[in-house]
Structure 1
Amino acid sequence: MAENDADRVLALLWRHRNPPPGARTGRRPRLSVDAVVAAGVAIADAEGLEAASMAKVAARLGVGTMTLYTYVPSRTELLELMVDHVLGSRDLPGPGDSPPSDWRDRIHLYAQRTLDMYRAHPWLSRISTVRPPLGPGTFAEREFVLSTVAGAGLPIGRVNEAALAVTMLVTSAARQEGENVLLRRASGQSNDSWWAERSGFWEDWFDEEQHPTMTRVWHADGFGGGTEEQAAAAFTYGLRLLLEGIAREGAGPP
């Protein structure tokens, strides 16, 4: 059977588990897929996702672009490898490791490491999560979140739904963190500074009669703090409510 694009990228993603036949015979290769991926990640971290081209990765490694294609077939595969590598860099505890004993603490560990990951690699927020790379980084996350939520005592048929709810909330907040980093880099301006420049909007354009609830919240100091502080507080609030709901369902009927 001819190898298709999916077969090729899966073999690369799982290269450490199933090295290709004859990989350790013959002359030692000048490069490795790991080195190519690390170079791509380093360029994207420093200069943005668009800068991580095959030509630029090759130049960083001191080889010709055509040489790079013998390790990674195209930029599409390179991006999948980069994403999965970064997902795995969170080093989430796996089976046999010693994670926090309380399942809520495990979720908070996952959330914090995911937020930190997007801050360190903000280009991740430019890549869709709808079709994730089917590699060890992705599956380490899925196993960790599923096993954690299962520890809350949910019926096994509800574990995946709860795990997806947690992942969607955490990833959404983390992607916003990445977008904040990218915007600050591109504009040299914080979100609060951006809003301050538009402070005249509230006097000149905002209509209290058309926005009565916003006005009530404003007068109750419900928009206190900067925009990033508000986002962090909203995430903390939402995650707490979600975990409380999972805990209640896991406990069963009273």
Structure 2
Amino acid sequence: MTIEHSGGGDPDRSLALLWRDRSTQPEPVRGRRPTLTVDRIVASAIAVADSEGLTAASMHRVAKELGAGTMTLYTYVPAKNELLDLMVDAVLSERQFPAPNEPRPSSWRAQVQLYSERTRAMYRRHPWLRQVSTVRPALGPGVMAGDEYLLSTVSGLGLPPRQLAAAASSIGTFVDAHAAIEADNAYLVRVTGETEDTWWQQRMSFWENYFDTERHPTMVEVWNGGGFEASAVDQAAEAYEFGLNRLLDGIEAAAAKH
């Protein structure tokens, strides 16, 4: 699986496009009155990526979907890097987290749960996101809204600023990583027609012919104690909920020391 990297576009061009709603400049016009908009181009690219994968969302393919020439797209979006930045930020914006002055769940844990639910749903709608690294994010409205919301969920715990930032980042990293894994599993089910449980069942001979109990005593102990009895899907869900709750417990414990 090829990994793309966001934030790779020209900074000035990407930022101007990402924050185009704040620009007073008209969209580029060459010759006749334009029939395209940046929003239409981005929406079309996302639709192609959703149905056929990220690789399919080339400038040429998007232009074809819109009934336009490829060169015409370049008068709106200068390169594929900038298009990827716009696509990622657009789907991040779909989460629509409450703004600072809008109602939200009363407890901080419930606010984190809202972040979790909307982020995981976003990955399910757009499984190609698992192929995009946001280590160097494009600083668009979707990214900034998510970061602001996460910081605000832990801001009332009394943590010092650096710990507050670390706590919010830890939550975001945990949720995003698990959401990407869920999306990857769902993608494999779609393209192979096999569920995860079916995949494991087809490899039962491994346990009979290759698994060495003496080299893996802890696995054997957990197995005999029923630790692996749940389905693959249920195990993943349990691991996610357990990990997130223990992470939040740790943040609360750290906050209690201040």
CA distance in 2, matches of 1:154, 1:238: 21
Residues of 1 paired with 2:41 and 2:28: CA distance? 18
Separation in 2, partners of 1:19, 1:231: 48
Q: 2:234 aligns with which of 211, 220, 229?
A: 229
* Equivalent residue number for residue 5 of structure 1: 10
Larger CA deviation: 103-112 vs 153-162: 153-162
* 1:95 paired to 2:83: no
CA deviations 1:193-225 (Å, max 9, x no partner) are: 111110111111101001000000000011121
- Please report the TM-score for the alignment, with normalisation by the length of structure 1: 0.94
24, 27, 48: which is aligned to 1:43? 48
Distance in 2 between the 1:155 and 1:69 partners? 46
- Distance across 2 between alignment mates of 1:50 and 1:187: 18
In the alignment, which residue of structure 2 is the partner of 1:151?
156
Equivalent position amino acid for 1:146 in 2: L
- CA distance in 1 between counterparts of 2:53 and 2:24 reads 31
1:44 aligned partner, one-letter code:
A
- For the pair 1:160 / 2:165, whether they are aligned, the reply is yes
TM-score normalised to structure 2 length: 0.92
Q: 1:213 aligns with which of 203, 213, 218?
A: 218
Cα distance in 1, alignment partners of residues 97 and 181 from structure 2: 21
How large is the RMSD of aligned CA atoms in angstroms?
1.7
SS at 2:22's partner residue? coil
| CA deviation string 1:155-197 (max 9, x = no partner) | 2231100011101110110010111122112212111111111
1:192 counterpart residue number: 197
Give distance in 2, aligned partners of 1:185 and 1:169. 25
Q: Is residue 128 of structure 1 aligned with residue 138 of structure 2?
A: no
Runs of at least 5 residues in structure 2 that lack an aligned partner in the other structure: 1-8
1:68 Cα deviation (Å)? 0.8
Q: Out of 63, 78, 81, which is 1:76 matched to?
A: 81
| Partner residue, 1:238 | 243
User: Matches of 1:219 and 1:25 in 2, distance apart?
Assistant: 69
Identify the range of structure 1 (221-230 vs 61-70) with the bigger mean alpha-carbon deviation: 221-230
The separation in 1 between residues aligned to 2:123 and 2:24, in whole angstroms, is 30
Q: What is the distance in 1 between the residues matched to 2:48 and 2:230?
A: 34
Look up the SS of the partner of 2:133 in the other structure: coil
Instruction: Indicate the SS of the match to 1:178.
Output: helix
Partner of residue 85, structure 1 = 90
SS in 2 for 1:16: helix
1:65 equivalent to 2:77? Answer no
CA distance in 1, matches of 2:41, 2:203: 44
Q: How many residues align?
A: 249
CA distance in 2, matches of 1:25, 1:192: 54
Cα distance in 2 for partners of 1:142, 1:44 equals 25
Aligned AA for 1:30? T
Q: In structure 2, how many angstroms separate the alpha carbons of the residues matched to 1:43 and 1:18?
A: 28
Post-superposition offset of 1:24: 9.9
In 1, Cα distance between equivalents of 2:186 and 2:65: 24
CA displacement, residues 9-50 of structure 1 (integer Å, 9 cap, x when unaligned): 110001012242x45999752110000000000010111111
Structure 2: distance between partners of 1:234 and 1:19: 48
In structure 1, stretches of 5+ residues that fail to align are: none
Structure-2 separation of matches of 1:173 and 1:221: 24
Q: Structure 1 vs Structure 2: percent identity of aligned residues?
A: 51
